Amino acid sequence: MPFLELSLPCTEQQQPRYERALEDVGALAVTLVDAHADAPDEQAIFEPGVGEQPLWGEMVLTALFEAGTPRDGLMLALHATDEGLDWSRASFRDVEDQDWERAWMDQYEPLKFGARTWIVPWNHELPEGADAPDAAVVRLDPGLAFGSGTHPTTALCLQWLDALANDGVLDGARVLDFGCGSGILALAALKLGAADAVGVDNDPQAVTATLDNAERNGVGDRLAVYLPQDEPAATYLVVVANILATALIDLRDVIVARCAPGAVLAMSGILAGQEDDVIAAYADALDDVQVERIEDWVRVSGRRR
C-alpha cells in the first residue's frame, strides 16, 4: 500500500522529542539521515560504542503514516502533542509502496571470491563457472542480517577462506564464525571442505538468518548457531571474526581463547588506520601476521602461538 511521508530537519538535541511526538500520533516508522550527506566533509558513523546511538548534529527526520492520513489533522495533532517544537518546516509527499526486499535482491548479482567460492542469491540461476565440479556455491538470502558478500570486509574474509581451502587447511576442520550475520562465512567454509562450523552472533535475527541459510544450502546438520551467552566452550582450528575494530579489541581474550594452538585467525571489519591497534592487541597471541586491504577496509590474519 502507499504511504504518506513527513520530513523535517532537526538537530541531535531535538531528535528524541520529534521522534516521540511522531510515534505518539501514529507514525509507522521513523528514520534519520545526515542533513549534509552530500557534503565533502560529511562524517560517516561506522562504530558506535556498546549501547550508544551516535547521531549527526543536523539531520532530516522522516516518518511514514498510512495513506490518506489528513495532513492538516496530522499537523494539528503534532502541535498539540508537543507545542514546544517547530513543525512549520515539515513537508509531505505520497510514497508508493514496493517490495523492498525484492527490489534489493533484484540488484544483487552472483559474486566470485578467490579461485572457486561463489555467493549466489537463492533465486538466481548459477552463472558460468559456478556450475564447475569444484565450485563452492553458497545460496544466500541475507534477510535482515549483515553479510551478502558485497561489503569489502566480507569479501576479504571470503578470499581468505578460499585461499585456506586451496592450501588444504579447511579439509575436515572445525570453523568458528564469530559475529556470523547471515552465516555467509561459515557456509562458505563448509562448502570449501570444513567438517562442521559454529556461528555466534548477539543479534537474534542473525541467528535466524544463519539457520535459514544453512538449511537452504543443505548443511543444517553441520552448522550450529548460538547467541554469545549460549555458546559452548570450545576451540577451533579456523576462526574468522568479521565484526568491528573496537569489538575485536574488547573481545580479544574471548577470541584468542577460541583458537586452538596453531589455529589460523582472520579479523575484519577494521577501517584502514585501525589495524595497528588490532595488531597490538593480539601481538602476544599471533605469529605470521598479515594485513590485506580492499578500499577503506582491512583484514588482519595470523596463526595462534
3-class SS shares of the chain: helix, strand, coil, % to 5:
30, 30, 40
The neighbour count for residue 147, using CB atoms within 10 Å, is 29
CA atoms of 141 and 260, how far apart (whole Å): 31
Whether the predicted pLDDT of 227 surpasses 70: yes
Give the per-residue pLDDT at 145: 43
In contact, 258 and 283? CB cutoff 8 Å = no
In contact, 274 and 282? CB cutoff 8 Å = no
User: Cell 549527526, residue?
Assistant: 56
At 255-268, the pLDDT tens digits run 999 999 999 999 99
At 46-63, the pLDDT tens digits run 334 444 444 456 788 889
- Binding-site members are 154, 179, 201, 242
CA atoms of 77 and 67, how far apart (whole Å): 17
CA neighbor of 159 nearest in space, from 185, 190, 130: 185
Task: Give the domains, in start order, of the chain with CATH numbers.
Answer: 3-97 (3.30.70.260), 152-304 (3.40.50.150)
Whether the predicted pLDDT of 44 surpasses 50: no
Give the per-residue pLDDT at 250: 95
Give the per-residue pLDDT at 30: 85
Whether the predicted pLDDT of 102 surpasses 80: no
Q: What integer best gives the mean pLDDT of the chain?
A: 87
* Least confident residue range of 81-95, 139-153, 173-187: 139-153
> Where do the DSSP E strands lie in the chain?
3-11, 29-34, 58-66, 91-95, 111-113, 117-121, 136-140, 174-178, 196-200, 223-226, 236-242, 259-271, 286-294, 297-304
* Least confident residue range of 9-13, 166-170, 222-226: 9-13
User: Cell 570486509, residue?
Assistant: 153
Q: What is the mean pLDDT of residues 211-238?
A: 95
Q: What is the mean pLDDT of residues 132-156?
A: 77
How far from chain centre, in Å, is Cα 43?
20
Side-chain-facing half-sphere of 267: CA atoms under 13 Å: 29
Give the per-residue pLDDT at 174: 97
CA atoms of 121 and 110, how far apart (whole Å): 7
The model's pTM = 0.70
Angle 152-166/184-191 helices, nearest 10 degrees?
20
Give the per-residue pLDDT at 200: 96
In contact, 114 and 166? CB cutoff 8 Å = yes
At 12-36, the pLDDT tens digits run 888 889 999 999 999 988 887 765 5
At 105-139, the pLDDT tens digits run 555 678 899 999 999 887 778 889 999 999 999 99
Buried b (16+ CB within 10 A) or exposed e, 230-261: ebeeeebbbbbbbbbbbbbbebbeebbebbee
Please, which pLDDT band fits residue 40 given cuts at 50, 70 and 90? Answer: very low
Give the per-residue pLDDT at 98: 58
The neighbour count for residue 296, using CB atoms within 10 Å, is 12
At 182-223, the pLDDT tens digits run 899 999 999 999 999 999 999 888 898 899 999 999 999 999
Q: What is the mean pLDDT of residues 285-295?
A: 96
Residue percentage of the chain with pLDDT more than 90: 65
How far from chain centre, in Å, is Cα 24?
31
* Least confident residue range of 84-88, 141-145, 159-163, 220-224: 141-145
- Binding-site members for S-adenosyl-L-methionine are 154, 179, 201, 242
Give the per-residue pLDDT at 50: 40
